[in-house]
Structure 1
Amino acid sequence: MAEITDSFLETYAESDALDLAGLVKRGEVTPAELVEAAITMIERLNPALNAVIHRLYDMARTSAEAVDRNAPFAGVPFLLKELASSWTGAPNTNSCFFLKDIVADFDTEVVRRMKAAGLVLVGKSNAPENGWSITTEPKLYGTTKNPWKEGITPGGSSGGAAAAIASRMVPIAEASDGAGSIRVPASCCGIVGLKPSRGRVSLAPFGDYWYGSAYFLCCSRTVRDTSAYLDAVAGALPGDPYTPPIPSGSWLDLSSHTPKKLRVGFSVTPPNGTPINPEVKATVLATVAVLERLGHDVEEHDMPLDAEAVWKTYTNMTCVQTAATFGYHETVIGRPVTPDDIEPVTWAIIERGRSTSGIRHISDIEQLRQVGRDIVGDLVAYDLFVTPTLAQLPRPLGYYDMSEPDIDRYNAKWTDAVFAFPFNISGQPAISLPLGWSGGGVPIGVQLIGRYGDEAMVLAISTQLEQEMPWKHRRPSP
């Protein structure tokens, strides 16, 4: 094995995942050397950031020896989020004290596809308890820091993944999104985060999550890495409840195509009346100006959405789902969950879920399906819709506090993500791109939303913006 020199570490840090896989395929490095580089970076950077909560180095070293060097991500170090996805032999706690001793004994379908793609698991990334936050500050594992600025959130719930990628521990990591949890941390940490179309990535062996409103994919530093990852893990299985249209080619190839002239709608007016940060607004308007210069037709369009009412209904639905999930966990653990096992807001969520009638729950589901239909109908005239990812810059750590026992007070602070959660309901693909930085050096994400099933267009226009408004060279100070 070659020595892990500072020069090699710099090459590792500046390369995206496909660059690293290319080095392996050309025989310039081995998967084992990439694993050692990742371990070195994690050991250097993680003590200050707390992005990686389980170090799986022995597993990674063993896996590196068996990598298929023709796989798309041959030998690329990778993190799995500490939520939902199951990788045999890895902890699977959902960042919850109640589940702290759980180790996965099977692979979910998406993990099988990760392995086939040549990704090498080096650790698991931090997440809030059960993913119920847009920051990453679980009591079980502690707070993840934002590598760009001390004292601000990295976002959540995929905040550990985003911080690890932004700081160059790994080039790509799993992420999931039930109300913005891929896009919000991507925005906070200055990276790429795509929430795919409903049903694009199979949830097998599970039936569904949140009636099609929870999604799995990744965060990365480049559009092409995200495109290639989508190629690697997408695809429905027999019995999956949703099956979006299949593109005519690979997403990696389609992402490099110059988009046709698009009709673009945009909004900088939050549909719940929450204030918008001036630098966030300016970044969206600058993006729209670039799109117009590239020849696309643009017009402002504000969504006629009662976001506050919809958010309450969505919360009620997810409370019932969470209560049901904990019923399953109780069966696995062999005893009832108690308030001492979980954070206060999680207990409040479970109690609300348990007290909600079946009639109320069905009514909530039908209301949300109607909202999804209305959102798609409202945007049907546009090929692309552009908004801020977050209405505000990343909040201070502690702003979103899961020790809050009142779920309504807790949820009232999620207004910054008002542009994100509607597209979990509508099922449309939505990506956050790091297209601006504040005067204080904090990343600002812009969200691009496409038509259902049209990730190809979203990725192609994202590539165009990546070329016009590049970000890959930006890197937080160690």
Structure 2
Amino acid sequence: MQGFSDYDMYDAMGLAQLVRDKETTALELCEAAIARIEAINPKINAVIHAMFDKARQAAAGSLPDGPFTGVPFLLKDLLAAYAGEPFTQGCRGYRNFIPDHDSELARRYKKAGLVVLGKTNTPEFGLLGVTEPELHGPTRNPWNPERSPGGSSGGSGAAVASGMVPMASGGDGGGSIRIPSAWCGLFGLKPSRGRVPAGPDSGELWQGAAQEHVLTRSVRDSAAMLDAICGPEPGAPYEILRPQRPYLEETAIAPEKLKIGFNTVSPIGLPVHDECIKAVHTAARLLADLGHVVEEKAPAIDGSALARSYFVMYYGEVAADIEQMGKDLNRRATRRDVEAMTWTLGRLGKTFSACDFVNAKRQWNKAARAMADFFTGCDLYLIPTNAQLPPVIGANRLSVFEKAGSAVIHALGLEKLLIASGMVEKTGYRSLALTPFTQLANLCGLPAMSVPLHWSADGLPCGCQFVAPFGREDMLFRLAGQLEQAAPWRDRIPLVHATRM
């Protein structure tokens, strides 16, 4: 290629074009990416498992002819299983677990021609909006290593932002693609429910709240990847309408005049940082300059009730995950296999009834109907991606007192009393205080994207989130392409980046 330092000047599609034009080879790109991972990863701990030998072998061989042939790639160590490689999910109990088959999405990534170099860090079971698992240690934000890149796709976000790879995989069950995208200065889109396959081991993830995709620097990479991985698989519970044209084409089409409602008030009534509010207002002015109609407007949704319904699903899924761990390991899972908070969440999950779970899902459907009503008067909904700037590493850890208190509660079997006291809800709200805006799209099954349009006075990224009607990723990609041209972000370089090696 045109010099070793050129690697991080290109997005994934740009690198693929170099390979097609024979200006470089897949193996040269692989070596360039490995060099950057080895140089940068000790500073931020984004990659927790290297697959360099396997990647070199794949790059030197005959790769599938796909849109990203020869492009280096990293897999989040959650959901996307890769046969023969560790699949820890950020959990001690799974530290020696090796799956014997690929997930359907991993197969599609390979079919797209990507060269997988390793696995990225994630909080245990992807449960938090920060990436600080006890098993692998914290991942640090390339913009400020004292702060978190977010989660649960924090390892992927940090790897892409630092220039290790042009894109990496992520999953989003409550904001886990959009949260790190916003805090790492990246573009991140969560697809509509059912757009991306979850098999072969699941029909849908987190009751349909979670979808997988990628975190990228460019809009076109995200669109081209969704073209490559979307569509049903055998055994999928449902199929949604296919797009009228490739998403990649949508990024080059100017959007029609859109009516966009915006809101900066936290749905759970907690404070929102001035910079996050400023980000939305800046975006609103830009949208108006581009000819769109922007007005302050919010859907008629009880945010607190929706948050409570999210907690019920969340706790229940953790309980089921811990039971599944026992099946995977052929032994009973114990509290030593997981972090203290995870064990607590799992125990809480077993205290809720089937009726509680059904009522929670009904709350999701009620919110989805309210969003449909909102979209009869607006094309898109603009809100902050996150309510606060990236937190300092360790700020969300359980204190020694909290860990000891949890152990006593479990020993005495007082989980129901804990719920009745309101402490569980209070703890859940504390977790959502940083990220209360992203769950809406998950629970309603809607597509949503975080776009890096604002940086704080301290130089920290602050993303803006756009939520679209069900199945309308095309509208999001058209607007994203327009915003990328009007307010480009790829020239902004974080403190820890390949170009500063």
TM-score by length of 2: 0.91
Residue 61 of structure 1 aligns to a residue whose secondary structure is: helix
1:233 Cα deviation after fit: 0.5
Name the CA distance, whole Å, in 2 between partners of 1:96 and 1:475.
Answer: 32
CA offsets 1:335-371 (integer angstroms, 9 cap, x no match): 2221121111100111011222222222222222222
> How far 1:76 sits from its partner (Å)?
0.6
Q: In structure 1, list runs of 5 or more residues that go unmatched.
A: none
Aligned counterpart, 1:344:
340
Counterpart AA for 2:461: P
Partner of 2:138: 143
1:243 is displaced (CA, Å) by 2.3
Distance 2:394 2:279 in 1: 26
Larger mean Cα displacement after TM superposition, 159-168 or 309-318: 309-318
Which runs of structure 2 are paired with 1:38-437 in the superposition (5 Å)?
38-68=33-63, 70-205=65-200, 206-401=202-397, 405=403, 407-413=424-430, 414-437=432-455
Is the 8 Å Cα contact of residues 158 and 181 (structure 1) preserved in structure 2?
A: yes
The secondary structure found in structure 2 opposite 1:417 is coil
The answer to whether the aligner puts 1:28 opposite 2:31 as a matched pair is: no
Once the two structures are overlaid, the 10-residue window that deviates more, 9-18 or 214-223, is: 9-18
Q: Contact (CA 8 Å) 2:64, 2:110: kept in 1 or not?
A: no
Out of 55-64 and 277-286, give the one that drifted further.
Answer: 277-286
Counterpart residue identity of residue 324, structure 2: Y
Q: State the shift of 1:90 in Å.
A: 1.6
1:67 shift after superposition: 4.3
User: What's 1:463 paired with?
Assistant: 481
Distance in 1, matches of 2:196 and 2:28, equals: 30
The more displaced of 389-398 and 352-361 is 352-361
| Count of aligned positions | 473
Which segment is superposed worse, 44-53 or 378-387? 378-387
Q: Is the 8 A contact 1:255 1:457 kept in 2?
A: no
C-alpha distance after superposition, 1:308-340 (max 9, x if no partner): 232122111121122122222201212222112
Q: Which letter maps to 2:282? A: A
Q: Distance in 1 between matches of 2:433 and 2:397?
A: 14
Equivalent residues of 2:121, 2:156 under 8 A apart: yes
Return 52-61 or 355-364, whichever deviates more: 355-364
1:439 alignment partner in structure 2: 457
Say whether the 8 Å CA contact 1:25–1:70 is kept in structure 2: no
Once residues 260 and 218 of structure 1 are traced to their aligned partners in structure 2, the CA distance between those partners, rounded to angstroms, is: 26
Separation in structure 2 between the aligned mates of residue 49 and residue 64 of structure 1, nearest angstrom: 26
Matched residue, 2:421: none
Q: 1:210-247 deviations in whole A, cap 9, x for unaligned?
A: 21101100100000000000011100124322322211
CA contact (8 A) 1:24 1:74 kept: yes
Unaligned runs of 5+ in 2: 407-423, 497-501
2: CA distance, partners of 1:410 / 1:103 = 34
Please, which moves more after superposition, 317-326 or 342-351?
Answer: 317-326
Three-state SS of the structure 2 residue aligned to 1:461 is helix
Which letter maps to 2:257?
A: K
Q: Report how far residue 399 of structure 1 moved.
A: 2.1
Deviations 1:54-110 (A, max 9, x none): 011011011112344742001111010011111112211111001110112101111
Q: Is the 8 A contact 1:24 1:69 kept in 2?
A: no
Contact 1:244-1:452 within 8 A present in 2 as well? no
| Secondary structure in 1 matching 2:117 | strand
2:268 and 2:307 in contact (8 A); partners too: no
C-alpha deviation, 1:24, in angstroms: 0.4
d(CA) in 1 for partners of 2:66, 2:340 = 44
Deviation track 1:381-419 (CA, whole Å, cap 9, x = no partner) reads 211111110111111112222565565454222122111
Per-residue CA distance 1:39-58 (angstroms, 9 max, x = gap): 00000000000000001101
Q: Contact 1:49–1:145 (CA<8 Å) still a contact in 2?
A: yes
Once the two structures are aligned, what percentage of the paired residues are identical?
Answer: 40
Given that 1:271 and 1:304 are in contact with CA atoms closer than 8 Å, whether structure 2 keeps it comes out as no
Structure 1 Cα separation of the partners of residues 145 and 137 of structure 2: 15
Q: 1:392 to 1:442 in 2, by over 3 A?
A: same
What is the DSSP-based 3-state SS (H/G/I as helix, E as strand, rest coil) of the residue aligned with 1:377?
helix
2:412 equivalent in structure 1:
none
- Paired residues of 1:345 and 1:410 also in contact (CA < 8 A): no
Runs of 4+ residues deviating >6 angstroms: none
How many Å separate the matches in 1 of 2:16 and 2:62?
A: 11
Normalising to structure 1: TM-score of the pair?
0.96
Q: What is the distance in 1 between the residues matched to 2:464 and 2:241?
A: 25
Deviation digits for residues 100-147 of structure 1 (CA, Å, limit 9, x no counterpart): 101121011111110110011001000000000000000000000000
The C-alpha deviation readout for 1:241-278, integer Å capped at 9, x for no partner, is 23222111110011210111111111112222222222
Code of the aligned partner of 2:460: V
Cα distance in structure 2, aligned partners of 1:90 and 1:69: 21
Worse-matched range after superposition: 462-471 or 335-344: 335-344
Alpha-carbon distance in structure 2 between the residues aligned to 1:113 and 1:67: 16
8 Å Cα contact 1:343-1:402 kept in structure 2: no
- The secondary structure found in structure 2 opposite 1:355 is coil
The SS at the match of 1:460 is helix
Query: Is the CA contact 2:385–2:450 (under 8 Å) kept in the aligned structure 1?
Result: yes
Q: What secondary structure, in the 3-state scheme, does the structure 2 residue paired with 1:458 have?
A: helix
Maintained 8 Å contact 1:56/1:123: yes
Change (3 A) 1:424 1:402: farther
Larger mean CA deviation between 388-397 and 20-29 belongs to 388-397
Q: Identify which range, 400-409 or 380-389, moves more after superposition.
A: 400-409
Query: How far apart, CA to CA, are the structure 1 residues paired with 2:428 and 2:395?
Result: 12
Mark the CA change 1:409 to 1:67 in structure 2 (over 3 Å): closer, same or farther: farther
Q: In structure 2, how many angstroms separate the alpha carbons of the residues matched to 1:240 and 1:352?
A: 30
2:449 pairs with 1:453: no
User: What is the distance in 2 between the residues matched to 1:216 and 1:315?
Assistant: 21
